[in-house]
Chain A
Amino acid sequence: MTRRNLLLLAVVLLVACALPFLVSNYRTFQLTLVLVYAIALLGLNILTGYSGQISLGHGAFYALGAYVTAILMDKAGVPYWATVPAAGAVCLVAGFLFGLPALRLEGLYLALATFALGVAMPQLLKYHHLEKWTGGVQGIVIPKPDAPFGLPLNPDRWLYYFTLVIAVLMFVLAWNLLRGRVGRALVAIRDQHIAAEAMGINNALYKSLAFGVSAMYTGVAGALSAIAVQFVAPDSFNIFVSIVLLIGIVVGGLASISGALYGALFVQFIPNIADDISTAAPWAIFGIFMIGFVYLMPTGVAGAVRLLLAKRRSAP
Chain B
Amino acid sequence: MEAFLHQVLAGLATGGIYASLALALVMIYQATHLVNFAQGEMAMVSTYIAWSLINAGMPYWPAFLLTVGISFVMGVVIERVVIRPVENAPVLGVVTVFIALLVILNSVTGWIYTYTIKSFPSPFPKEMALGRYMSPHELGAIGITLVVLLALYVFFRFTPLGLAMRAAAQNPVSSRLVGIRVGWMLALGWGLAAAVGAVAGMMVAPIVYLDPNMMGGILLYAFAAALVGGIDSPMGAVIGGFTVGVLENVLGFVIGNELKLSVALVLIIGVLLFKPSGFFGKVHVTRV
Contacts and interface: CB of A to CB of B under 8 A. Distances in A.
A284 B33 CA distance: 27
Contacts of A243: 99, 102-103
Interface in B85-109: 85-86, 89, 91-93, 95-97, 99-104, 106-108
Contact of B261 (A105, A119, A280): A119
Given A120-B261, A120-B264, A294-B86, A281 B107 contact: yes
Nearest to B101: A287
B97 A290 contact: yes
Contact of A123 (B96, B224, B261): B261
Interface in A268-310: 278-284, 286-288, 290-291, 293-295, 298
Interface stretch (A12-20, A124-132, A163-171): A124-132
A54 B91 contact: yes
A204 interface: no
A101 B272 CA distance: 9
A140 interface: no
Interface residues of B, number: 45
B35 A294 contact: no
A294 B269 contact: no
B107 A246 contact: no
Given A116-B265, A116-B269, A123-B260, A56 B217 contact: no
A280 B107 contact: yes
Contacts of B268: 112-113, 116
Nearest to A111: B95
A297 to B, nearest CB: 11
Contacts of A33: none
A298 B86 CA distance: 11
Contacts of B227: 112
A112 B262 contact: no
B103 A294 contact: no
A229 interface: no
A152 interface: no
Interface string A247-279: 000100010000000000000000000000011
Given A124-B259, A280-B111, A291-B97, A101 B216 contact: no
Interface residues of A, number: 46
A180 interface: no
A134 B91 CA distance: 36
A61 interface: no
A108 B95 CA distance: 8
Given A119-B220, A127-B258, A101 B108 contact: no
Given A120-B265, A126-B258, 20 more contacts: A104-B273, A111-B37, A112-B268, A116-B220, A116-B224, A116-B264, A119-B217, A120-B264, A124-B259, A127-B259, A243-B102, A254-B92, A280-B110, A282-B107, A283-B107, A284-B111, A287-B103, A288-B100, A293-B96, A294-B100
The 10 closest A-B pairs by CB, nearest first: A283-B107, A287-B104, A290-B100, A280-B111, A287-B103, A107-B91, A120-B265, A287-B100, A280-B107, A120-B261
26 contacts: A52-B92, A54-B92, A111-B35, A112-B272, A113-B268, A116-B224, A120-B262, A120-B264, A123-B260, A123-B261, A123-B262, A127-B259, A239-B216, A243-B103, A246-B96, A284-B104, A287-B103, A287-B104, A288-B104, A290-B97, A291-B100, A294-B96, A294-B97, A294-B100, A295-B85, A298-B89
